Structure formats: structure tokens, C-alpha cells
Amino acid sequence: MPSTSLSRRRLLAASSGCLSAAFAGCIEFSEGESVSGHSTSEGGTLESTHEYESLSIRSADDTPVAYSSEDAAEADEEKRAPRYLADFFVTDEDDAAALWFTGAAADDDVDAARAFVEETDFDGESIYVDQRSIDDCYRRRLLSVRAADGEFRTNYCRALKSPMEPCEADRSVTEAVFVRVHRPYDDPPSSRGSSERTTCPSDAGGGNGSAANKMDGTDTANDTDGTETNDTDAPSAEEPR
């Protein structure tokens, strides 16, 4: 299995938001690894096609954390409608420079996310930003990534926060997951989708291939045993799917 050791700079950048955000909910940084072929379990199959790392930051409310550009943010604001939590790709240094944060997340978390993006080698890697709502007392964990030419899929599970972490019941926040996949894209895949388990396996702390082996079920639209799926064709820039 390929090595996924990270540089000291990457680890420091990813952890920089934790100290100041202790009471707001620390950023989540996880290291993923590729799975050769299929990782099978009793209930089905879960696979990752490429190595990846991920960083999660959260807003203080149920509003977007980031947009692909300032223009995209302004266009969304002009709609005067419930904000669309757009997902988007960052495929080169120009995209990285255009990345726009709304101010909904803590400054230190935003700094960590920027550092995470800046550490990306776009000759061999891409960034996928996946934003969606989540109850304040839960965390979303990335379990697998499938990056094909025209399709990009993510698989998550959802787990309760630690009893020591403060949260507010019946309150929704936005969680933005920055996924660095070890695969370059000239253009974003035209089809994107995700599945999410309503519970996590007991050892799914890092969202890597070994944890995926413990999954009970498959990452398919037909799987209804505690799984939520969302499969879409990618829209034009920042347009609702």
C-alpha cells in the first residue's frame, strides 16, 4: 500500500486552527490512503482509487464557508434566496488564488484551509471543496474517494462529537471538507456524487482505507441501510444542481 506520510509543514498547517478554536469546534484533519482494488467487508465493497488527505472546517451558522471566487460569492448573494452550498474544484494555482472565504468560519480555521490548499502540488493533485449542512453535535468523516476521468465520488459517515466538545442541539452549521486527491484534473469532472452513512464504524477516526474495511454495506444508490446518497451531474460554475 502506498505511503501517505505528510511533510512537517503540512501537519503544522492543518493543526494551526485547533488551539484557538477549542470551544468553537476544532478543525478536522485526516490522512487517507489509496486502496488497491476493492476493500471488501461482509456487507459489500468500499474503495478509494487514489491517495488523499482532507481538512474540515465549520461555520458558526448554516451559511457557506467558501466559494470558488469573489464573483461567485456575489452572484449567490444577489439571488436573495437560501444560499446554495456549492461544491467546486480547485485544479490549478489560478483557482487557488481566486478561492474566496466568506468569514463564516473562524480566522485560524480559514488560515489552515488556505495553507492546506497552498501545499497542493497541482501537477499531480487537485482540491475538491464539499460543503453541506450538519447538526452541530455531529461530525462528518470522509471514508473514501473515487476519482475517475469524468466522475468524482466521496463516501462519508456521520458520528456524534466527543462528550467533551460543546455543541448546541437542534442547531445546523455548514461543514466544508477540503479534499486533496492525488490526481490532477485539467477540468472538473462532469459528474459528482456522494454517499453518507448515518453511523460510523468504530475505528473510522481517520477516514482511511483500513477503516473502510469495517463498513457494513456498499457505496451505491441502491443501499438503503442507513445510507444517504446524492448523485448529480456537475452544474456550471456555482449554479444549483
The mean predicted confidence, pLDDT, of the chain is 73
7 vs 223, more confident? 7
Domain count, the chain: 1
Tell whether 126 is covered by a domain.
yes
Position 205 scores a pLDDT of 52
52 vs 236, more confident? 52
- The alpha carbon torsion through 73, 79, 83, 87 (nearest 10 deg) reads -50
Neighbours of 42 (CB within 10 A): 8
For residue 115, give the 3-state DSSP assignment: helix
Percent of the chain with pLDDT over 90: 47
pLDDT digits over 52-74, tens only? 999 999 998 888 999 999 999 88
Question: Is the pLDDT confidence value at 209 over 90?
Answer: no
Tell whether 102 is covered by a domain.
yes
Tell whether 2 is covered by a domain.
no
- Check: CB of residue 139 under 8 Å from CB of residue 199: no
Tell whether 195 is covered by a domain.
yes
- CA-based nearest residue to 197, from 165, 173, 220, 177: 220
User: Whole-model pTM?
Assistant: 0.70
Across the strands, what pairs with 39?
Answer: 46
Count of positions (residues) in the chain: 241
Which residue segment(s) compose the domain that 56 sits in? 8-233
Tell whether 53 is covered by a domain.
yes
Give 20's pLDDT tier (boundaries 50, 70, 90): very low
Tell whether 1 is covered by a domain.
no
Tell whether 238 is covered by a domain.
no
Neighbours of 22 (CB within 10 A): 11
Q: Of all helices (H) and strands (E), which one includes residue 173?
A: strand 172-181
Tell whether 69 is covered by a domain.
yes
Mean pLDDT, residues 161-190 taken together: 93
